[in-house]
Copies of this chain bind each other. A is one copy, B any other.
Amino acid sequence: MHLIAIGGSDAGISAALRARELDPSVDVTVVVADSYPNFSICGIPYFFSGEVQPWQSLAHRTAADLEATGMRLRLDTFATSIDVSGQRLSVRDANGSESEIAYDELMVGTGALPSSAGIAGLDTLGRTTACTCCTMGDTFALDQHLTDRDPKTAIIIGAGYVGLEMAEALTVRGLKVTQLQRGPEVLSTLDPELGALVHRELDGRGVEVVTNALVESVSRTDNGLVVAGRHFGDAFERTADLVLAVVGVRPNTDLLERAGAQLGAGRAVVVDETMRTGLPHVFAAGDGVVTHHRLLGVTYLPLGTTAHKQGRVAGENALGGSARFAGSVGTQVLKVFDLVAARTGLREHEATPVGFTPVSTTAVADDHKAYYPGAQPISIRITGDSKTGKLLGAQLVGARGTETAKRVDTFATALFHGTTVAGISDLDLSYTPPLGSPWDAVQIATQRWEREHAKVQVNA
């Protein structure tokens, strides 16, 4: 039995680890396009900020750690095509030589590629500009650029998770950062009311934020890089020494598409909950495939946590197991400077198309009893279905140290089990005055939603 996993990031490595864990006799090869298997892509911004040094420490596991589990690594090896019926994978190594590897089961984790979001000129500026912090190669190129050219100013196009983390990283590194956001507020994965709290944190740290800025082109001039576009309909131009475009990703489906796999939501490869592609003996997982979502059905929502889970399922099933990916609820968290912003589940505009009647309420509750020193407010926005009372989503913004990241997990766990907003008050959550309240902040928020949107029937 020979399992090949393509991809050295979350999905591929998770599949390989799971297979080796379940059956140490199984032969596992991981085909990695570069020299950096199992690196924590999510940690790259902290390398740029200088908080993580040296770059080697970004490895979840080293190549030696991985090989110690009994898997074989083929580094700097690019998978070029799949012979599905022959169960053979064609690869090209760093020297350009082509070869074939036979497999019994194949697991494809080719991930995603940076999107250019239709911004002209982005492609010509090279890897120091079109940054999604996707690869270690991009990371070294940008780091070299920062060292060699010593840029003083930077424009970051996009204010999502990575864009905000890079704004922090470059600010910490001493650059003056301007952040351009197409929409009306930063971190558009949150409602603007909560995004505004993140905006305020950026303001306070010296990041200049320009919202409603539609970037159309980036070009190099003698004065630096020029970003041009429209701001509330008017033309605008900004110049900086460095420009990073962090405007999302698109699934990297080329290999599987050519092998005959179907594309679905977000033009990602269709898989079922067992991570099968429909092609015999071919599994796929991670940022290149559709996401089964417990509230939305099939969607595209690439996240590292999901890739780990999907890869683990694929690795188990490649060995004949019957694991199923239980589904995402879209849980995400961001630390930017001293603020933590998190969400899980749906916002109103996501819930309406799938048949819910969502209503939302924001509460501000202390992370612990106000009488104990150091209490800080957490803003918690609850979205629930006004017809059934079902919990649909929660968004939280609080200072670092308020346990906001793990409070979103309480909502995520409850959402996973399909609870109602009122059901959150039934949860037996922990309490001690330095760390909580008898009704935890999460319950104070859901009780507020109940008061505004639900009517308990009593026959007084």
Contact = CB atoms under 8 A, between A and B. Distances in A.
Nearest to A415: B428
Nearest to A438: B308
Interface in A226-252: none
Contact of A428 (B330, B436, B438, B451): B330
How many copies of this chain does the complex contain?
2
B305 A434 contact: no
Interface stretch (A74-82, A356-364, A402-410): A402-410
A314 to B, nearest CB: 13
Interface stretch (A113-121, A130-138, A332-340): A332-340
Interface string A381-420: 0000000000000000000110101111110111011010
Contacts of A316: 456, 458
Interface stretch (A87-95, A140-148, A365-373): A365-373
Given A22-B460, A316-B458, A305 B429 contact: yes
Contacts of A435: 333, 335, 340, 405-406
A322 B316 CA distance: 46
Among A23, A332, A409, A440, chain B packs the most CB atoms within 10 A around the CB of A409
A140 to B, nearest CB: 17
A260 interface: no
Contact of A412 (B423, B429, B456): B429
A331 B429 contact: yes
A320 interface: yes
| Chain A residues touching B, majority SS | loop
Contacts of A344: 428, 430
Interface residues of A, number: 85
A97 interface: no
Interface in A80-132: none
A344 B413 CA distance: 15
Among A10, A419, A433, chain B packs the most CB atoms within 10 A around the CB of A433
Interface of A: 1, 10, 21-23, 25-26, 40, 42-43, 46, 51-52, 57-58, 60, 161, 303-306, 308-309, 312, 316, 319-323, 326-335, 340, 342, 344, 369-373, 400-401, 403, 405-410, 412-414, 416-417, 419, 423, 425-436, 438-440, 451, 456-460
Return the 6 tightest CB-CB contacts between A and B, nearest first: A406-B406, A320-B459, A326-B426, A333-B430, A413-B413, A405-B435
Given A40-B369, A42-B432, 9 more contacts: A10-B438, A26-B460, A42-B431, A43-B371, A46-B434, A51-B373, A409-B409, A412-B427, A416-B428
